[in-house]
Structure 1
C-alpha cells in the first residue's frame, strides 16, 4: 500500500472480496476489451475531436512508455491539472498502467492549491495546460518548481515553453507488470473543512467496484453515451459512473468544457447522450434555453447532486426538459446514495435515495455519539467497501475524522428513513457549497487575516438563488475599511482559486459567540438574511 494511505482492516477486505465487490479488476485494464472487440467505436468525443477505442488504447500505451522513459515509476505521484479533453483520459489510463498515482487537481486551482498538492504528495511530475481561460499555467509551474525540489518534470498540453510538451512524451510501449488491485489507483481531493484540502486514496478494487455498480444501477451500458459537462477531475463526472465508467463499458465519453447550453445541447443531440451529471444551479438555465435549441432530452437521465435540490425545481425541470432526474448525495471519500431512474418521481425528487452497496453501513448520531431514532436528524457516519479508512498523510486529522471502529464522520446532517432511504438536511462542517464547489471557510479566513486591514474574519455561507450558497466575509477591521474588491485582489495575489474569493463583505464591530466561545456563524448568517 502506498506509504501514507490507510488500508481497510484485513477482515473487512476479505469480507468485501467474498461478497464479490472487490474482484481484482484494475483501472489499468480500462479500454482493453472495447479496443479489442470494437476498436473503431468512439471512446472520447468533444465538439471538435473524436478518438476511437483503438486509438485511445494505443495513445495510453505510448504515453505510459514515454513516462517510463522519463523515469517515472510505480508509486510516483503525478499532479494532473488538465481540463476536460481526450489527453486527460489518455494520461489517466497511462498512469494507471504505469502504476503511478494521479493526484487530480482542478483547472481553477492556483499557487496555493497546486503548490500544496505537489509538496504534500512529493509529486514527481506536474501536468498542466499552457494557457486556459487567459491564465498561463506555465508561470504557475515556474513558481511551484522553485519551491518543490521533488518535482522533476512539468508536462504541458500545448506550447511547453521551457518545459516538456505532453505530446512529445509518447514512445514505444513497455511491458510492465499490472498494478496490485489493492494498491492506491488515484488521489482525489476532498471538499475540505480545514485550511488545506485532504487527499482521498482510492484503490483499483474499490473504484472499479464503484464504476461497475453505478453503471449497473443507472442502466448504463455500451448502448449509451455519458456527457461530462462538469470537470472530469471531480468524482461525480469521473466515476459515478462518469467518464471512466463509460470507458469501462465501451460507451462514448462525451466531454464538454462546461454545462453551457450552446455546447452541451448540440453534443447531446449529435452523440445520443443518455446520461450526464449536473449541479442544481444549472437546471433553470437548461429549462430556459432548451426550447431555443429545440433540444430533445427525452432519452436523457440527469444525475443531480453536489448541492441541495428543491423538490419543486426537480419536478418543474423534469417536466420542462422531458428528461429523467435522479437525485444524488455523494462524496469523493466514498459513499454514494442516489435514486434510480425507474423509481417513482416523488421518491426521486424528495430523497437522496438508497446507498449504492448492500454493505454500506450508515448511522445517524446525535451530539453524544449515539444513534438517533429512524427519521430523526443526526450526523451521518459511514463505512463500507468503497469509503476510505483514512486520508492520505493525515494521521492527526484521521484520529478525529474516524471513529475507533472505522466509521467516517461525514459532517452531514441526515435523516435515515425506515425504508432505507436518506434525506440530507444540512451539514455541520464549515464549508461553503458554492454551486457545487466546496470552499473551506477556514482556508479563506486564514488568508484574509494576513491582510493589514483585517483584525478578524468569519466566512459564512449565505443563500444564493443561482449558486445555492455564496460566501460572505464578516470582517472586524483594523485601521481603515477594506473594500471587497481589495480583499478579493489580495486573495488572488496569494494564489487562491477564483471560486474561493468571498462574494460579499460585511464589516462588523465584533462577532457573536456561542456558549463554548466559538464564533456563532449561525447568528451571523441570520443577521445577513
Structure 2
C-alpha cells in the first residue's frame, strides 16, 4: 500500500477513467454505470459549493443502502467534507442526541421512513436544537417546498464539470460514526482516509475482490461494517447490488440472478438466509466469500455457511477501528469457528489481565489494540479519548472493552464484552442509557438491563426491576419508551420483577447476579 492514495473520490474517478461504462450499481433492476454515478456526485458537489459548502463541513447522511448514499458520500469526499452516518431505525431521541453532538451544516435524508414524516421531524429538531442545516430529501415525488436529490441531478443550471476546490490529503477527516458508550452517551468517532480507506484496501487484498466481482451487503452503509463493503467495492472497481433492507428471500433471488460473489452479512442475516436455503433447497453456487461481523459467530453458523453458501470470514472490529482482526480465506473451518483470527498487517493486539499485566497464553483479559486504522479521537470529547488509551512499554494501546485470550499459535479467541453493551443482532443497546430512561417510570423503584442469550439474535435486553406494582407489564414499559422516543430495537424483550435487587458490598446493583438470575428464571414474560 506504499505511495497509494486513499482519497475516496480519487479512487472512484480512476475507476471511471479505466472503464466508464462498467456497471457500478444494480438497484431495483436498474443498472447505473460508474460514469453516471460520478456525474450525479459531481452535480451534488457543485450544488453544495453553490450553497456555501466548505472543507470540513459535516453532512449527516440518513439513508438506506441505495445509489444516493454512495453519490452523497462521493460528493462530500470530493469537497473535503465530513460524512456522519445515521441509522434509519433511529427514533427521535437518538436523532436529536446525534444532531446536538455534531451540529451538521447539511442533512440528507428520506422524506419519510415507515410512518415517520422526516421532513417535519428534522425541521422540528433543528429548531429545538438551534441549528440551521440545509435539508436535502430523497423522495420518489417532487417536494416543491424543499430541495430533493432528483431535482439536483436534473437541474441543467448545475454543471458537473467543476474541479475540486480544496487540496485534500489522506490524513484529512473523512467521517464521524457514532458508537454506544458505557456512560450513557453515544460518542462520535472521527476517522480519516488513511484509517478507514486504508483498512478497506487491506480487506480487498485479503478477500480476492476484483473488478469482476459482484458485491451484496445486508449490513446498512450507516454501520461501519456496511460502509466497509461499499468502500471495498469502490477500491476493487466491481459491481455492487444495493438493497435498502435485508430480506432473505430477496437476497437469495439476487444472489442467483446477479451472480453475487461476495456477501457482507451479520450473523443473524446468515441464519435467516440459511433457513431459506434449506427450506427451498436452492443452494447458491456463485458465492466465493461471506464476510461477517458485529457479533460472535457460532460454530454452527461457520460450518453451515461453508456448506450451503460459501467461504465464511468472521470479523472482529468496532467503530473505533473498523476491521481489526479477522480470519483469512485459507484458514480451516475449525479455526474460524473457534477464533476471531489474527490482527491485520501493521497492527497488533495484546491481552491485559486483571492485574494490569500482559496476559499469558490462554489467559483471559481485555483485548488491547493498536494500529493505523484506529480513529483519531472522540468528537468534542477529549477526556473520553484519553481514557480509552493505556501506555505499556512505550506503546499506546486502545482499550477495546472486549475480553479474549491469545492461544499458543497467536489466534485470538473472543470471550465476551466488558462494556455495558447488549449486542442484539449486531445492533448495540447501551444498557446504562436505557436504565437511565426506565428509572424515571413511575412504577419502577430500581432497575437494571441485562443481556439474555437468544438463538437467532445473539442477545436481547431483559429488564430486571423492583416495582410498586407487581402486575406491571412489558407492554406498558414499551409504550413508555415509545413516548420517550427510544428506538424500538432497544426496547426490553423480557421483564423480570423481583422483590429486592442484589447488591455488591459497596451498595451497587450486582449485574452479575442479575444476569445469572435472569438466565435461570424460566417464567419471564414473553415479548
Same fold flag (TM > 0.5): yes
> What is the CA-CA distance between 1:518 and the residue it aligns to?
2.8
Which residue, 258, 261, 276 being the options, matches 1:289? 276
Indicate the larger mover: 366-375 or 211-220.
Answer: 366-375
> What is the CA-CA distance between 1:400 and the residue it aligns to?
2.0
Structure 2 gaps of 5+ residues are 520-527
> What is the CA-CA distance between 1:42 and the residue it aligns to?
1.0
- Using the alignment, how far apart are the partners of 1:509 and 1:164 within structure 2? 56
- Using the alignment, how far apart are the partners of 2:182 and 2:239 within structure 1? 35
2:186 alignment partner, SS class: coil
- Match of residue 105 from structure 2: 124
> For residues 269-325 of structure 1, what are the alpha-carbon distances to aligned partners after superposition, in whole Å with 9 as ceiling and x for unaligned?
222211112222233322221152724245331112211222133213322x14111
Which residue, 383, 387, 390 being the options, matches 1:403? 390
Which residue, 158, 166, 170 being the options, matches 1:177? 166
C-alpha contact (below 8 Å) 2:194/2:372 kept by paired residues: no
- Using the alignment, how far apart are the partners of 2:475 and 2:516 within structure 1? 24
- Using the alignment, how far apart are the partners of 1:23 and 1:37 within structure 2? 17
Pick closer, same or farther for the CA change 1:251–1:22 going to 2, 3 Å: same
- Match of residue 146 from structure 2: 163
Pick closer, same or farther for the CA change 1:32–1:46 going to 2, 3 Å: same
Pick closer, same or farther for the CA change 1:29–1:90 going to 2, 3 Å: same
Matched, 1:51 2:32: yes
Which residue, 380, 383, 386 being the options, matches 2:370? 383
- Match of residue 194 from structure 1: 183
Pick closer, same or farther for the CA change 1:383–1:351 going to 2, 3 Å: same
- Using the alignment, how far apart are the partners of 1:526 and 1:431 within structure 2? 17
C-alpha contact (below 8 Å) 1:416/1:423 kept by paired residues: yes
Which residue, 469, 486, 493 being the options, matches 2:459? 469
- Match of residue 46 from structure 2: 65
Which residue, 327, 330, 343 being the options, matches 1:339? 327
- Match of residue 90 from structure 2: 109
- Using the alignment, how far apart are the partners of 2:363 and 2:295 within structure 1? 21
2:369 alignment partner, SS class: strand
C-alpha contact (below 8 Å) 1:269/1:295 kept by paired residues: no
Which residue, 272, 277, 296 being the options, matches 2:259? 272
2:377 alignment partner, SS class: coil
- Using the alignment, how far apart are the partners of 2:62 and 2:270 within structure 1? 27
C-alpha contact (below 8 Å) 2:256/2:286 kept by paired residues: no
C-alpha contact (below 8 Å) 2:89/2:487 kept by paired residues: yes
- Using the alignment, how far apart are the partners of 2:516 and 2:381 within structure 1? 34
- Match of residue 524 from structure 2: none
- Match of residue 225 from structure 2: 236
Pick closer, same or farther for the CA change 1:306–1:161 going to 2, 3 Å: farther
Indicate the larger mover: 331-340 or 216-225.
Answer: 331-340
C-alpha contact (below 8 Å) 1:43/1:51 kept by paired residues: yes
- Match of residue 19 from structure 2: 38
- Using the alignment, how far apart are the partners of 1:425 and 1:21 within structure 2? 35
- Using the alignment, how far apart are the partners of 2:283 and 2:27 within structure 1? 18
> For residues 202-244 of structure 1, what are the alpha-carbon distances to aligned partners after superposition, in whole Å with 9 as ceiling and x for unaligned?
10122221111101101111121111111111111211xx112
C-alpha contact (below 8 Å) 1:192/1:438 kept by paired residues: no
- Match of residue 523 from structure 2: none
- Using the alignment, how far apart are the partners of 1:361 and 1:21 within structure 2? 19
C-alpha contact (below 8 Å) 1:276/1:301 kept by paired residues: yes
- Using the alignment, how far apart are the partners of 1:295 and 1:40 within structure 2? 32
C-alpha contact (below 8 Å) 1:67/1:169 kept by paired residues: no
Pick closer, same or farther for the CA change 1:298–1:260 going to 2, 3 Å: same
2:213 alignment partner, SS class: coil
- Match of residue 512 from structure 1: 502
Which residue, 294, 299, 308 being the options, matches 2:287? 299
> What is the CA-CA distance between 1:328 and the residue it aligns to?
1.3
Structure 1 gaps of 5+ residues are 1-19
> What is the CA-CA distance between 1:184 and the residue it aligns to?
0.9
- Match of residue 503 from structure 1: 493
Pick closer, same or farther for the CA change 1:431–1:22 going to 2, 3 Å: farther
2:450 alignment partner, SS class: strand
- Match of residue 91 from structure 1: 72
1:59 alignment partner, SS class: helix
- Using the alignment, how far apart are the partners of 1:123 and 1:478 within structure 2? 43
1:45 alignment partner, SS class: strand
Count, aligned residues: 506
Pick closer, same or farther for the CA change 1:298–1:164 going to 2, 3 Å: closer
2:400 alignment partner, SS class: strand
- Using the alignment, how far apart are the partners of 1:340 and 1:24 within structure 2? 25
Matched, 1:309 2:290: no
> For residues 43-87 of structure 1, what are the alpha-carbon distances to aligned partners after superposition, in whole Å with 9 as ceiling and x for unaligned?
111233321100001111111001111222111111111001000
Indicate the larger mover: 84-93 or 110-119.
Answer: 110-119
Query: With structure 1 as the length reference, what TM-score do the two structures score?
Result: 0.91
1:88 alignment partner, SS class: helix
C-alpha contact (below 8 Å) 1:30/1:93 kept by paired residues: no
Matched, 1:252 2:235: no
> For residues 105-145 of structure 1, what are the alpha-carbon distances to aligned partners after superposition, in whole Å with 9 as ceiling and x for unaligned?
10001221211111111211222111223332223212211
